[in-house]
Amino acid sequence: MDAIRAEDIVKKFGSVTALDGVSLEVAAGELFFLLGSSGCGKTTLLRSIAGLETPTSGKIHFGDREVTRLPPHKREAAMVFQSYALWPHMTVAKNVAFGLEERKVPKQEIESRVREALQLVHLGAMAERGVDQLSGGQQQRVALARALVVRPKCLLLDEPLSNLDAKLRLEMRREIRRIVKEGGLTAIYVTHDQEEALEMADRMAVLNGGRIEQLGAPTEVYRSPRTSFVAGFIGETNLIRATVSEVRDGYAMTECSAGLIVGRIADPEWTPSPGDTVMVSVRPEAWQIDNGAGSVITGKIRARSYLGRSIRYEVETVVGVQQVVELNPEVLREPGDAEVKLTARHSDVVVMKD
Amino acid sequence: MKRWQALFITAGVSLVFLVFFIYPAVSVLSEAFRGSDGSFTMAYVVEVFRNPVYVEGLINALLLGVVSTLATLMLALPLALMSHRYDFMGRKLLSALILVPLVLPPFVGAIGLTHVLSVTGSLNALLIDLGLMDPDRRIDWLANGKFWGIVVMNALHLYPILYMNIVAALANMDPAMEQAAENLGASPTRRLFRITLPLAMPGIFAGSSIVFIWAFTELGVPLVFNYTRVAPVQVFQGIRDLGQNPSPYALVAVVLLISATVFAVTKFFFGRNTSGAQPRPKGRDSEIRLTGVKSLGAAMVFAAVFLIASIPHAGVVILALADDWYDSIVPYVWTLDHFKEALGDPLVVPSIENSLIYSSIATIAATVLGLAIAWVVVRGNIRGRGVLDALVMLSREGKPFHFLVTLAGGSPILLLIASYAIRRLPYVVRAAVAGLQQSNPAMEEAARSLGAGPLRTLRKISLPLIGANVAAGSILAFAFSMLEVSDSLVLAQQAKDYPITKAIYTLLSTLGNGHELAAALGVWAMVFLGVAIIGATRLGGKKGGLFKM
Nearest CA in chain B to A96: B184
Residue B544: pLDDT band with limits 50, 70, 90: very low
Mean pLDDT of B346-358: 87
- We report the CATH number of the domain holding residue B266 as 1.10.3720.10
What 8-state DSSP symbol labels residue B217?
T
Q: Are residues B111 and B7 in the same domain?
A: no
Q: Are residues B373 and B435 in the same domain?
A: yes
- The kind and range of the H/E element at A282 are strand A277-282
Cα–Cα distance list, A205 to A40, A135, A157, B480 (Å): 12, 32, 15, 60
Please report residues of A whose CB lies closer than 8 A to that of B282: 83
Rg over alpha carbons for chain B, rounded to the nearest Å, is 25
Q: What is the dihedral of CA B520, B523, B529, B530, to 10 degrees?
A: -160
pLDDT of B543 strictly over 50 = no
Please report residues of A whose CB lies closer than 8 A to that of B187: 73
Mean pLDDT of B46-58: 90
pLDDT of residue B1: 57
**Domain presence at residue B196:** yes
Q: What percentage of chain B reaches a pLDDT higher than 90?
A: 11
Q: Are residues B12 and B49 in the same domain?
A: no
pLDDT of residue A5: 94
Q: How far apart are CA B463 and CA B456, in angstroms?
A: 10
Q: Are residues B341 and B432 in the same domain?
A: yes
How do residues B121-160 score in pLDDT, each as one tens digit?
A: 788 888 888 877 777 777 777 766 578 889 999 999 899 8
Average per-residue pLDDT in chain B?
A: 81
pLDDT of residue B172: 79
Between the ranges B277-291, B349-363, B423-437, where is the mean pLDDT highest?
A: B349-363
How do residues B167-191 score in pLDDT, each as one tens digit?
A: 888 887 888 888 899 888 888 889 9
**Domain presence at residue B285:** no
Contact at CB, B194 and A88, closer than 8 angstroms: no
Q: Do the Cβ atoms of A158 and A164 come closer than 8 Å?
A: no
Contact at CB, A99 and B185, closer than 8 angstroms: yes
Mean pLDDT of B263-269: 81
Quickly count: other Cβ atoms within 10 Å of residue B456's Cβ: 12
**Domain presence at residue B347:** yes
Q: Which residues of B187-225 are buried (b: 16+ CB within 10 A; e: fewer)?
A: eeeebbebbbeebbbbbbbbbbbbbbbbbbbbbbbbbbb
Higher pLDDT, B361 or B8: B361
Q: Does A43 touch chain B (CB under 8 A)?
A: yes
Q: How far apart are CA B183 and CA A30, in angstroms?
A: 21
| Chain B residue set in contact with A, beta carbons under 8 Å | 174, 176-177, 179-187, 190-191, 194-195, 198-199, 201, 274-277, 280-284, 286
Contact at CB, B274 and A52, closer than 8 angstroms: no
pLDDT of B409 strictly over 50 = yes
Residue A263, CA atoms < 13 Å, CB-side half-sphere? 37
DSSP B393-405: HHHHH-HHHHHHH
**Domain presence at residue B98:** yes
Mean pLDDT of B349-355: 88
* Range with the poorest average pLDDT among A2-16, A132-146, B100-114, B267-281: B267-281
pLDDT of residue B492: 79
Q: Are residues B488 and B399 in the same domain?
A: yes
pLDDT of residue A341: 92
Q: Which of B226, B242, B271 is the last residue of a domain?
A: B271
pLDDT of residue B381: 63
Q: Are residues B102 and B47 in the same domain?
A: yes
Quickly count: other Cβ atoms within 10 Å of residue A11's Cβ: 22
Contact at CB, A73 and B182, closer than 8 angstroms: yes
pLDDT of residue B188: 87
Please report residues of A whose CB lies closer than 8 A to that of B199: 87-89
pLDDT of residue B341: 81
Q: Which of B271, B303, B319 is the last residue of a domain?
A: B271
Determine the 3-state secondary structure of B4 from DSSP: helix
DSSP A36-90: -STTSSHHHHHHHHHTSS--SEEEEEETTEE-TTS-GGGS-EEEE-TT----TTS
pLDDT of residue B301: 92
Q: Which of B245, B271, B297 is the last residue of a domain?
A: B271
pTM: 0.77
Q: Are residues B110 and B236 in the same domain?
A: yes
In the predicted model, residues of chain A with pLDDT beneath 70 are 1
What backbone torsions phi and psi does residue B325 show, to the nearest 5 degrees?
-115, 105
DSSP bridge partners of A278: A242, A353
Question: What sign results for the dihedral spanned by CA atoms B11, B16, B21, B25?
Answer: positive
- The kind and range of the H/E element at A315 are strand A310-317
Contact at CB, B180 and A79, closer than 8 angstroms: yes
**Domain presence at residue B442:** yes
Q: Are residues B15 and B161 in the same domain?
A: no
DSSP A177-243: HHHHHHTT--EEEEES-HHHHHHH-SEEEEEETTEEEEEE-HHHHHHS-SSHHHHHHSS--EEEEEE
Of the candidates A154, A122, A156, A140, which has an alpha carbon nearest to the alpha carbon of residue A83? A140
**Domain presence at residue B389:** yes
Instruction: Quote the domain boundaries for residue B151.
Output: 42-115+144-271
**Domain count across chain B:** 2
Q: Are residues B417 and B517 in the same domain?
A: yes
Q: Which long-range contacts (CB under 8 A, 24 or more apart) does B257-266 make?
A: B258/B62, B258/B216, B259/B213, B259/B216, B259/B217, B259/B399, B259/B400, B260/B400, B262/B209, B262/B212, B262/B213, B262/B216, B263/B209, B263/B213, B263/B397, B266/B205, B266/B206, B266/B208, B266/B209
pLDDT of residue B548: 46
Question: What sign results for the dihedral spanned by CA atoms B37, B41, B44, B46?
Answer: negative
Q: Are residues B159 and B221 in the same domain?
A: yes
**Domain presence at residue B50:** yes
Cα–Cα distance list, B546 to A287, A317, B474, B538, B542 (Å): 62, 61, 11, 11, 7
**Domain presence at residue B433:** yes
Of the candidates B257, B250, B216, B229, which has an alpha carbon nearest to the alpha carbon of residue B407? B250
How do residues B434-481 score in pLDDT, each as one tens digit?
A: 777 777 667 776 666 666 767 777 777 777 777 777 888 888 788 888
Domains of chain A: 4-228 (3.40.50.300), 237-353 (2.40.50.140)
Helix and strand tally (H, E) in chain B?
27, 2
Residue B400: pLDDT band with limits 50, 70, 90: low
Between the ranges B74-83, B218-227, B277-286, B329-338, where is the mean pLDDT highest?
A: B74-83
Q: Are residues B55 and B14 in the same domain?
A: no
pLDDT of residue A70: 86
Q: How far apart are CA B346 and CA A279, in angstroms?
A: 91
Q: Are residues B148 and B28 in the same domain?
A: no
